[in-house]
Amino acid sequence: MSDFDVIIVGGGPSGLQTARLLAEQGLRAGVFEKKEEIGDDVVCTGIVGRDLFRKFGIPEDSLLGDLRSIAVVGPSGRSILYDHPSAFAGIVDRGRFDRSLAETARRAGAEIRTGTRVVSVVVSSKGVRLRTRSEAGESGICTATLLILATGIRHEFQSGLGLGSPRAFLRGVQSEADISAGAIPSIYLGTGIAPGAFGWAVPTTPGRMKIGLITEGDPRRSFRGLLDALKLVNGRGAAEKTMRIKPIAQGLVARTSGERVLMVGEAAGQVKTTTGGGIYFGLLGARAASDIVLKAFQVGDFRASFLSEYDRLWRAVLKREILVGHYVRKAFAALDDRQIERLMDVARQDGIIPLVRAKGQFDWQSGLIVDLLRKTPVFRIFGEIGRSPAFLKKFWP
């Protein structure tokens, strides 16, 4: 008999939620996490869609506050203040958020082993065999009927299991700083700050904020530019702390299921390609994975042909969002600072803000993106780089 029905490698949100959903249905689920503590050293703004807690049954004990207003700062330092009719997102303590997911999974019956690195995986017709190593250097062997990889940007097992892996990455960097009272969440645009994407400054607790960015360029150099922008815009210094840097997967992954194995979360490319956020899409992936795994155990079929239904299931929900977001972010990356400022001028004058207020959703953005491109001034700006016509031909309903 195997040690577990299902082993999940990786203790991030998607892996923990998958373990919870499977354990709630009576499967013996085990999570192996290489970190000593769940939620340590995460590069994430901590901004999540406000309906996430209700939709996925997640406790709100990690919620620090709601997000209703945000400033968008252009390359020149001029900004637009956007106020949504209601709270459209929440700011969470990301470490506490992950630990809350872990506790919920444990209460459901899942076993979580931290400080445990999986060093090798063997899949056969009889099951899955993993070799592990603890932080103390102790080796172990563990077996399961089925394997789920929730390994984020780690892809050392995928090729050997016939799975795909993300082909494109951004680089994210984040730190924390002391702030004065009254600061509001802000997004920073410009090639001198975050080439190919954007930066952020998000207050978390009184007197503290997260500062970070995602970029196609050098994250350290871009981070220094962001700190300079914060000094210029806010008239004060930003206390730079230790920077944490990580790659962020972009785009669809070719194959996310195989013989006795599935992938969820960032490992499967289930990432919001406009912002690099992976929590919401990863939780949707966890739901799809648990549905297929439960069916596999019901019929006793763990072949690749049966588990391939997982690929179809999650892509039916997320493929359009991932492709549209990836295309538009790449198109935005081709704009120069002058064109970015022109976009912001259009937003001030052309009814874009009312459209965003009416149709904007934090986690579902493709519909709003297409509607924005219907605006003639926006179409013209993107048309200058040869991207907008191709985008509309492929995605316009």
Q: Quick check: 397 pLDDT over 50?
A: no
Q: What integer is the mean pLDDT of 230-258?
A: 74
The residues with which 60 forms a beta bridge, in sequence order, are: none
What number is the average pLDDT over the span 210-231?
A: 86
Q: What is the pLDDT of residue 274?
A: 86
In the block, tokens 């102790």 appear at 138
- Tens digit of each residue's pLDDT (9 = 90 or more) over 50-93: 889 999 999 999 998 888 899 999 999 899 998 888 888 899 99
Domains of the chain: 4-46+93-167+251-321 (3.50.50.60), 66-92+169-248 (3.30.9.10), 334-395 (no CATH)
For residue range 7-35, list pLDDT tens digits in order.
999 999 999 999 999 999 999 999 999 99
pLDDT of 235 = 44
Lowest mean pLDDT among 171-180, 238-247, 357-366: 238-247
State residue 180's pLDDT score.
Answer: 64
**So what's the pLDDT on residue 245?**
87
pLDDT given for residue 391 in this prediction: 52
Q: In the prediction, which pLDDT does 58 show?
A: 92
Summarize the confidence of residues 160-173 as an average pLDDT: 90
The answer to whether residues 393 and 80 touch, using CB atoms and an 8 Å cutoff, is no
pLDDT recorded at residue 99: 96
Quick one: pLDDT band at residue 390, thresholds 50, 70, 90?
Answer: low
Query: What 3-state class would DSSP assign to 166?
Result: coil
The DSSP secondary structure of 62-127, one letter per residue, reads TEEEEE-EEEEE-TTS-EEEEE-SS--EEEE-HHHHHHHHHHHHHHHT-EEE-SEEEEEEEEETTE
CB 384 within 8 A of CB 371: no
Grade residue 292 by pLDDT with cuts at 50, 70 and 90.
Answer: very high
Tell me the whole-structure pTM to 2 decimals: 0.91
pLDDT at 116 over 80: yes
pLDDT of amino acid 375 = 78
The per-residue pLDDT for 396 is: 46
Which residues, at least 6 apart from 245, have a Cβ–Cβ distance to it below 8 Å?
43, 171, 172, 173, 219, 220
Kindly state the average pLDDT of the residues 347-375. Answer: 78
Token code pair at residue 94: 């990301």
Residue 376 clears pLDDT 90, i.e. is over it:
no
- Determine the pLDDT at residue 154: 87
What average pLDDT is seen over the chain? 88
Which is more confidently placed, 275 or 4? 4
